[in-house]
Amino acid sequence: MAYVENISNGLVTGSKSIDSVENGKTQETKQSKSDETKDMFLKLLVTEMKYQNPLQPTDNTEYVKEMATFSQVEALNNVQDNVDEMRSANMVGKYVNIVDDEGNAVDGKVDYTTKQNGETVVCVNGSFYPISQVTGVMESAYYEATLAADTLNQMVAELPPLGQVTYLDEDKITAIANLYNAMDSYQQSFLSSDSQTAIKSYVNRLNEVLAKKAQTDQELAEQAAAQEAAEQAAQAITEEDQAQASEANAQAADTDPTETVAADTVAAQTTEVSGDTEDNTDTSEDTTEQVPTV
């Protein structure tokens, strides 16, 4: 760490750090560091010239060399700034890996680049990061391919063993098949042969399970239809019997009551005539018994 010596009346009164740290976390920006570096060099140069030994003065060529060295350093810093700007411009639209001040890994797409306090920064996921924190750059195609492959592998890992697949796993396996079919050949190349074989095996197993379920459902539907037809036939027979009974009752109710009364009258008259005949017979017998004998 470099220090600037504070000199008063030829005496060193203290030192000041170029990098001021507050609570071990706050750091000065790159621009402020560069400015303080320039001030430091100039102050040291002036101090050296002011307090040099008059008997053994410093050679002028030494000052020229120091100035040249400082100019070279400043030029290199400017070149580095330009390189950072060009580098950040090439990152726009690409995916980057970043390690922030706290050591956390951040992945995302660079939306744009700008300068803050003289330092080039990139905007990723709505936050700004110095370009010096960028640890990797990926093309969009590569990043999307690796992301799709990782997602697909994770989805396959969450499936049950192949022999335990049921129709309840249809949504998960269908989603995997749709994602796999949506990938182009470049993206599919990021999947291992074992992963691709596993995906195809799960799809085939699901088709077998669904076919068996469809057959079972059809058989159950046919059985239900046959049972319903039998119940309807039995109900029809019962309704027919009830209709015939109702018709017989209706016919009995439609018989003429006059004919019934006439028949009853004739029967009564026949009974009465029979009774009179018997009475007359008894009277004749009584008469015969009362006639005196001649």
Ranges of each domain in the chain: 3-86, 139-253
For the cut 80, the answer to whether the pLDDT of residue 154 exceeds it is yes
Tell me if 118 sits within 8 A of 73, measured CB to CB.
Answer: no
How high is the mean pLDDT of the chain?
74
Say which residue, 137 or 55, is predicted with more confidence.
Answer: 137
Span 206-215, pLDDT tens digits: 999 999 999 9
For the CA atoms of 162, 166, 171, 177, the dihedral, rounded to the nearest 10 degrees, stands at 30
DSSP-based three-state secondary structure for 24? coil
Distance CA 34, CA 38 (A): 6
The 8-class DSSP code of residue 131 comes to: G
Span 162-172, pLDDT tens digits: 999 999 999 99
Report in angstroms the alpha-carbon separations of 219 from 69, 86, 226, 273: 93, 71, 11, 80
Residue 292 has phi, psi (to 5 degrees) of -70, 155
Q: How confident is the model at residue 53 (pLDDT cuts 50, 70, 90)?
A: low
Span 69-108, pLDDT tens digits: 766 666 666 666 666 677 777 788 888 889 988 889 898 8
The 8-class DSSP code of residue 52 comes to: S
Q: Taking CA 163 as the corner, what is the angle to CA 197 and CA 223, rounded to the nearest 5 degrees?
A: 120
Say which residue, 204 or 235, is predicted with more confidence.
Answer: 204
Q: What is the pLDDT of residue 148?
A: 92
Nearest to 178 by CA among 151, 160, 205, 157: 151
Say which residue, 274 or 231, is predicted with more confidence.
Answer: 231
Q: What is the pLDDT of residue 240?
A: 72
Q: How confident is the model at residue 118 (pLDDT cuts 50, 70, 90)?
A: confident
Say which residue, 24 or 264, is predicted with more confidence.
Answer: 264
Tell me if 33 sits within 8 A of 18, measured CB to CB.
Answer: yes
Tell me if 134 sits within 8 A of 96, measured CB to CB.
Answer: yes
Distance CA 276, CA 104 (A): 135
User: Model-level pTM greater than 0.75?
Assistant: no
Q: Region 53-63: what's the mean pLDDT? A: 67
Say which residue, 41 or 113, is predicted with more confidence.
Answer: 113
The most confident of the ranges 34-38, 57-61, 105-109, 242-246 is: 105-109
Q: How confident is the model at residue 10 (pLDDT cuts 50, 70, 90)?
A: very low
Say which residue, 146 or 78, is predicted with more confidence.
Answer: 146
Tell me if 162 sits within 8 A of 205, measured CB to CB.
Answer: yes
Alpha helices (H) in the chain, listed in sequence order: 30-50, 60-91, 140-157, 170-182, 185-188, 193-253, 257-290
